Amino acid sequence: MKPLSQKAQGIFYVTLCIFLWSMIPTFAKLSQSRLDHHQYLFYSSIVSFVSLLAVAIYRQKTHELLKYSGKTYLTLFGLGFLDFLFYLLLYFGYEKANGLEVLVMQYTWPIFIVLLSIFILKEDLGMGKIASLILGFLGVTVVITKGDFAQVDFSNIGVIITVLIGAFSFALFSVLSKKVSINLTNAVTIYFFTAVIYAFISMETFSHWAFPTLQEWLFIAINGVFLNGISYLFWIKALQNADASFVAPFIFITPVLSASFLIAVFDEPILPIYFIGLALVISSGIVNSLKKRF
């Protein structure tokens, strides 16, 4: 069998990542509990760190974890902070503002990735990628707002800017991760180790200790191991195998797939506008996949 090209491998890994990330809203709705987002993020980060450490042990890479240079650790701790900051500011946005505008602003991070990849990674930006970004963002906006754009007024500008900063931080994390040359599993393990530290400080500063119940641990485990743990291996692997500006627009599929899961699990109504959003996102993916640059 002929091996997959690097671009095809990039699409394969981002597809796995999209599938896992698209289940986050469903599990979030199923796992609603007394834990606030600081506590949930702290425990989820612990589970993610332990699960990635287990993968590193299985691959016999743990002996390398304590052998990197100080500069490498500093870089990894910085990238871990960018990832942590994304979730912290995103959760803040959902707590303080209308969910619709936060969702729309959340999905500006693929756009930031494309823009940052031009300046940091020196990738080319053709008209195809621009068209793909526009179609993808429109598709996401249509699905999130259900076609009623009047619901999104962006009146809470301070919170919106905060969410945008979070989206920018994740885009910067993704682009800079391409420059990390150490073993992927070890890198992600250290990212989540730093996330545990930052989440602990956040919980101690803005919240308080609360121990999860058995049911809460179940959802924390699913989120920590798969949705917010293993998925990062797929995401960074996708970035390593293809241009960041090529991979990013595919992420617009995530909220459309999320809506499908919510409809299936919670019997939410199927609106005709969803099909328009889906058509826009599919068009975005097709345009982005074209070999010809125009």
Direct distance between the N- and C-terminal alpha carbons of the chain, in angstroms, rounded to an integer: 32
What's the token pair of residue 18?
Answer: 């999209």
Residue 237 to residue 281: CA distance in whole angstroms: 23
pLDDT value of position 2: 45
pLDDT band at 100 (very low <50, low <70, confident <90, very high): low
The number of beta carbons lying within 10 Å of the beta carbon of residue 196 is 21
Instruction: Select from 109, 92, 87, 151 the least CA-distant residue to 247.
Output: 109
**% of the chain beyond a pLDDT of 90:** 33
pTM for the predicted model, two decimal places: 0.84
Is the pLDDT confidence value at 125 over 80? no
Contact assessment for residue 87 and residue 222, using Cβ atoms and an 8 Å cutoff: no
pLDDT band at 99 (very low <50, low <70, confident <90, very high): low
- Can you say how many angstroms the Cα of residue 86 is from the centroid of all Cα atoms in its chain? 9
Higher pLDDT pick, 214 / 3: 214
Please give the single-letter amino acid code of residue 165.
I
- How does pLDDT run across 138-174, given as a tens digit for each residue? 887 887 777 777 766 666 778 888 988 999 999 999 9
Is the pLDDT confidence value at 1 over 50? no
Q: What is the mean pLDDT of residues 174-195?
A: 93
